[in-house]
Amino acid sequence: METVIIEKLDAACRQLNTAISLWFSNGDPVSIHTLACSAHQIVHDINQKQGGRDLIYDSLVIKDEYRREVNIFFKQAYNFFKHADNDAYGTIEFKPYLTEFFMLFTSMGLEILGSQPDPIRSAFNIYYGLRNPHLLTEKGKSGWIDRISEENRKQALRLPKHDFFEFYLILRRQYLTNTEQANSTGV
């Protein structure tokens, strides 16, 4: 069996992309959450070592005196899904919508660390932005959704998320192919 060398950020990207792909295809929410949280933990740790803040666990919008309580809330499901040492027969009330925050902040964290969004992360960022424009800053809107025409926004919002994902990936491949052809012919 072959050995593969993986860097931490590459592992985070792979985990996040798998979580996003599963999310778009309505996969298992526990698996999606665990992958997204694992990716976020790596990105958070690296960002923190570089002196950065403003991911989920150290967000500048949370007062420091409430940070511990907020982090316990955000980490509760993730810890439950990966450990059984203290509660081998426990149960949890899981809120799958929290996973979207981990995917969003991990994607943003990867950008902070210099990793530009690939097609899978871009699809999630745009889809999330289209569905939740009220949560985005002007910078978020300009980076993710303002470049999309109003007609295309409306069309995208009518699509179920799995159809949006497939459609986005097809359009992106076509765009890249057309761009490469134009560049090679000097057009």
| 75 contacts: CB under 8 Å, gap ≥ 6 | 37, 57
Give the residue from 11, 29, 9, 10 showing the smallest Cα distance to 19: 29
C-alpha to C-alpha distance for 100 and 116, rounded to whole angstroms: 19
Topology adopted by domain 1-115: Four Helix Bundle (Hemerythrin (Met), subunit A) (1.20.120)
Model pLDDT, residue 186? 64
Predicted pLDDT at 187: 55
Closest to 105 measured CA to CA, from 43, 19, 159: 43
Residues of the chain with CATH 1.20.120: 1-115
Find out whether 153 and 145 touch, Cβ atoms under 8 Å: yes
pLDDT, position 33: 97
Q: What is the pLDDT of residue 77?
A: 93
DSSP tally for the chain: helices H, then strands E: 8, 0
Contact (CB, 8 A) for 33 and 78: yes
Instruction: Please list the pLDDT of the chain residue by residue as tens digits (187 residues).
Output: 899 999 999 999 999 999 999 999 999 999 999 999 999 999 999 999 998 877 888 877 788 898 899 889 999 999 999 988 888 999 999 999 999 999 999 999 999 999 999 999 999 999 999 999 888 888 878 877 888 888 888 998 999 999 999 999 988 888 777 777 777 776 5
